[in-house]
Amino acid sequence: MERNYPNLCKPITLGRTTFRNRMFSAPMGGTDITNDGCIGPKSTAFYELRAKGGAGAVTVSECMVHPKTDGSHAYHLDESILNSLACAAYTADAIRRHGAIPSLELSHSGMYAGTYMTDKSRQKSMNQWGPSDTVRPDGIQVKALTRELIQEIVASYAHVAGLAKRAGFEMLMIHGGHGWLINQFLSPYFNKRTDEYGGSLENRCRFAVEVLKAVREAVGPFFPIEFRMSGSELFEGGYDLEEGCRIAQQIEPYIDLLHVSAGTYQRGFGDTHPSMFKDHGCNVYLAAEIKKHVKVPVATLGGLNDPAQMEEILASGKADVVYMARALLADPFLPRKVTENRDEEIVRCLRCFTCMAERAATATRRCTVNPLIGRECEGDEIQPAPVRKKVLVAGAGPGGLYAAYTAARRGHQVILCEKEAEAGGILKSEQALPFKHEMYELAGTYVLLAKKAGVEFRMNTEVTKEYAEKENADALIIAVGSTPLIPPIPGLDGENVVVVNDYYKEKEKVGEDVVVFGGGLAGCECAIHLGQEGKKVHLVEMRDLLAPDANVRHRPLLLKEIEKYVTVHTGYRGLKVTSEGVLCADAEGKEVLVPGHSVICALGQRSRSDVTEVLRDAAPFVRVIGDASRVSTITNAVYQGYHAALDI
């Protein structure tokens, strides 16, 4: 067959190992790491799903090689730990049996030992080791590694590499980027040593070279070794791209694949993991430049989720392999859909950071658009229902769409009703914000999947109690969403006011000076967009904090964008909307006019409880999901819709 994306689908041979395609699964941390660092069954299933989805390689992250100096709560591979080797072997096998090459990332946190611990207070009780004596920004003392400890760590890389090969891993990624120990030695910012491990570029690369030589000795001449580096540290005092090219040349003789990332985890999270505010592939230029200076194959990554863009990266010679992490959470079957020419079915990653925020909060995983993530042990295949039933879904927002799609895949007769002419619910409002357009596109993807599964769509059709009873369905899923909260503030119904949900329909009403009334997530994101358009934007929020409803990974990046584009007024209570702006009371009760001829009302949402109450007895099985149950997130709506359908 003729592939739509031939370069993505083309095999690549590293060492003597052939990978089935050039779409690799980037390192992602596990979900049930045991107290002694074993890979738990949930993590094995987590990695296996990406192999099943068609990735060329699946990288397990991260295995810390030297617990004595790096006590991070991450994977360890040690024959003295009961089941350590067995768990690794089961994981490698789970990946390999689906045709993907299992790879293990070997790492050392250096001065950031304990970073992965959910209980950060335990991190402070550890000895922190790095290239040089220093004090971290949080006040923690860092000790310089002695030559003896350096050699002990080098030996541990080799020992763990040998164990990994014995367990069945067929490639190793040596993590030399993102501010971890090897990167700390490479970096002039972290490395202030005056011995053979510091000073010149050659000296700063010595530790990395010694590690790679030791690993090669342990695994043999034809076993693929990949080195992950930051093409540039992207902060003042760190190395830049020009020096990154020279570092790559120092490393090149000892590796089979050079994996070029960006930034440092501690100083540029939004660089290493590009947010929705950045272009897809914004870090590819680093790999493209470094590729000009080395002969080994080069891999790139950074917010990639579009097969057309990834195909161009390979076709134009910017890289030889593309890595994805978040994109393969959103759709683990992305590579398989690409190879089977089903790319229109790909569920795109929204770059919303729900996945990473959940791991930071609870040490589990969750994905906004994929309810399987973190719960793969429960099964990733939809089982047919024992009895085919008639299912009525009220509301074609994200939860309703996913519920209908899932119920149809189980073999039920599914009718999806939507009172408006277009599906998507609250997702429709995102089409006006370029950095959130993929959230709007998500509705279209869900509609396509639902229709292919056999869902009957009835648009411009509201489900009333009479309608539901007439349809006489066996099951009713109520996904009618929420409505904007508009308090009885004088002037809030004025001609100069646009409700944030309706902004996409009424953009022309918004002038050049705007007050965004409400500093939750929706208000903040709208304010950023308006600022990016060049408008003068004031943001009014009654609370002291902006966007408390944003997750812990997205919120800091959101606030940075707010700083660029928006004048913020927190602690201001809105009293009245006029043609000149919003009259507010500040913390002392003094009246202040926040100027703006246009006003965006972003004061929150409320559940359509009046509708849900009427429909609760309209079928034998009734489930209320998403905002209709309680105003929450798309994540919860999709998850609840999925499980509602499984319960029928």
**Amino acid identity, position 392:** L
The CA radius of gyration of the chain, in Å to the nearest whole number, is: 26
pLDDT at 404: 98
Separation between Cα atoms, residue 401 and residue 71, nearest integer Å: 44
Separation between Cα atoms, residue 21 and residue 7, nearest integer Å: 8
Separation between Cα atoms, residue 648 and residue 644, nearest integer Å: 7
pLDDT at 123: 64
Separation between Cα atoms, residue 609 and residue 597, nearest integer Å: 34
Within 10 A of 470 (CB to CB), how many other CB atoms are there?
10
Separation between Cα atoms, residue 520 and residue 517, nearest integer Å: 9
Q: Do domains 390-483+607-646 and 497-603 have the same CATH topology?
A: no
Contacts of 357 (CB under 8 A, 6+ apart): 551, 552, 553, 554
pLDDT at 125: 65
DSSP H helix total and E strand total for the chain: 20, 28
CATH number listed for the domain at residues 497-603: 3.50.50.60
Q: Provide block-wise average pLDDT over 10 residues at a time, the chain (648 residues).
A: 97 98 95 90 96 98 92 86 96 98 97 73 75 90 96 98 98 97 97 98 98 98 98 95 98 98 85 95 98 98 97 98 98 98 98 92 91 93 96 98 98 98 96 96 98 98 96 98 96 96 96 97 98 98 96 96 98 96 95 97 96 96 97 97 98
Q: Which residue has the tokens 């849900």?
A: 612
For strands 413-418 and 57-64, give the pairing. Answer: unpaired
Q: Which residue has the tokens 């074993």?
A: 38
Separation between Cα atoms, residue 169 and residue 17, nearest integer Å: 12
Separation between Cα atoms, residue 54 and residue 42, nearest integer Å: 19
C-alpha triplet 430, 431, 436: angle, nearest 5° = 55
CA distances from 116 to 37, 43, 119, 122, 137 (A): 12, 15, 9, 11, 18
* pTM metric for this prediction: 0.95
Q: Which two tokens stand for residue 104?
A: 């293990």
Separation between Cα atoms, residue 226 and residue 214, nearest integer Å: 14
Q: Using an 8 Å Cβ cutoff, are 12 and 321 in contact? A: yes
Separation between Cα atoms, residue 545 and residue 526, nearest integer Å: 17
Domain over 6-378 is classified CATH 3.20.20.70: yes
Q: Dihedral sign, CA of 585, 601, 544, 542? A: positive
Q: Using an 8 Å Cβ cutoff, are 332 and 314 in contact? A: no
Within 10 A of 24 (CB to CB), how many other CB atoms are there?
30
For strands 482-484 and 321-324, give the pairing. Answer: unpaired
- Helix/strand/coil for 174: strand
DSSP 460-505: S----HHHHHHHT-SEEEE---EEE-----TTTTSTTEEEGGGGGG
State the distance between the two ends of the chain, measured CA to CA, in whole angstroms.
39
Separation between Cα atoms, residue 270 and residue 562, nearest integer Å: 15
pLDDT at 29: 87
Q: What is the dihedral of CA 241, 245, 248, 253, to 10 degrees?
A: 180
Residue 199 φ/ψ region, left for φ over 0, alpha for ψ in the -120 to 50 degree band, beta for the rest:
left
* Chain-centroid distance, C-alpha 459: 33
CATH number listed for the domain at residues 390-483+607-646: 3.40.50.720
pLDDT at 140: 85
CA distances from 586 to 160, 251, 596 (A): 60, 59, 17
Domain ranges in the chain? 6-378, 390-483+607-646, 497-603
Separation between Cα atoms, residue 142 and residue 134, nearest integer Å: 5
